[in-house]
Amino acid sequence: MNQLSAFIKKEALESWRNYKCLWLPALFVVLGIMQPLTLYYMEDMLAFLGGLPEGAGFVMPTMTVEEVVVHTLDQFSQIGMFAIVLSFMSTFTNERKTGEAMLILVKPVTHWAYWLSKWFVALVLVIGSFIAGLVASLYYISLLYDSLSLSSILITGLVYGVWLTFFVTVTLFIGTIVKSSAVVSLFSILTIMLVLMFPVLFGEGALWTPAGLLMLIESFLFNDPISLKPIWITLSLIFLLLLGGTNYVTKKEWSI
3-class secondary-structure state, position 53? coil
Q: Is the pLDDT of residue 183 over 70?
A: yes
Q: Which amino acid is at 105?
A: L
Question: What distance in Å separates the CA atoms of residue 68 and residue 232, rounded to the nearest whole number?
Answer: 27
Listed in sequence order, the DSSP H helices in 18-64 are 20-40, 42-49
Q: Is the pLDDT of residue 48 over 70?
A: no
What are the pLDDT digits (tens) for 207-218? 888 888 988 999
DSSP 179: S
- Minimal CA–CA distance to 87: which of 45, 63, 121, 51? 121
What are the pLDDT digits (tens) for 131-178? 999 999 999 999 999 889 999 999 999 999 999 999 999 999 999 998
3-class secondary-structure state, position 249? coil
Q: What is the pLDDT of residue 230?
A: 92
What are the pLDDT digits (tens) for 113-139? 999 999 999 999 999 999 999 999 999
Q: What is the pLDDT of residue 50?
A: 62
Q: What is the pLDDT of residue 200?
A: 76
| Under 8 Å between Cβ of 238 and 166 | yes
Q: Is the pLDDT of residue 57 over 60?
A: no
Question: What distance in Å separates the CA atoms of residue 156 and residue 74, rounded to the nearest whole number?
Answer: 13
DSSP per residue over 80-110, as a string? Answer: HHHHHHHHHTTTTHHHHHHTHHHHHHTSS--
What are the b/e assignments for 12-23, b being 16+ CB within 10 Å? beebeeeebbee
Contacts of residue 131, Cβ cutoff 8 Å, sequence gap at least 6? 157
Dihedral Cα 76, 157, 27, 4, nearest 10 deg: -110
Q: What is the pLDDT of residue 161?
A: 96
Q: What is the mean pLDDT of the chain?
A: 88
